[in-house]
Amino acid sequence: MPVKSAPKKKVSKSDSYECQACGLVVSVDEVCDCVDVCDIICCGQPMKRKEVKAKATKK
Ligand SMILES: [Zn+2]
Ligand SMILES: [Zn+2]
């Protein structure tokens, strides 16, 4: 069977999602098997992925 490349950003481990309505933040412990992009719903709307920048080890 043909293997489709995934253009959409899938949920990946340690991603963080933030609810724009209540500010709840969740992080992904385990990835799911969703074929398409997985929406995490809070307050009736999909949570947005939080861009986590790599921490600069500044000292
Ligand atoms: Zn899913
Ligand atoms: Zn919420």
CA atoms of 40 and 22, how far apart (whole Å): 14
* Closest listed ligand to the CA of 37: 1
pLDDT at 35 over 80: yes
Q: Are 29 and 16 in contact (CB under 8 A)?
A: no
Ligand 1 centroid distance, CA of 55 (Å): 27
pLDDT digits (tens, 9 = 90+) for 8-23: 667 888 889 999 999 9
Query: Is residue 21 situated within a structural domain?
Result: yes
* Closest listed ligand to the CA of 11: 1
DSSP state of 4: P
Residues of the domain holding 30: 16-50
Query: Is residue 57 situated within a structural domain?
Result: no
Ligand 2 centroid distance, CA of 39 (Å): 13
Can you spell out the DSSP letters for 10-50? Answer: PP-TT-EEE-TTT--EEE-SS----SSPPP-EETTEEPEEE
Query: Is residue 1 situated within a structural domain?
Result: no
Question: How many domains is the chain built from?
Answer: 1
CA atoms of 18 and 32, how far apart (whole Å): 18
Predicted confidence at residue 39, as pLDDT, reads: 85
Query: Is residue 34 situated within a structural domain?
Result: yes
* Closest listed ligand to the CA of 45: 2
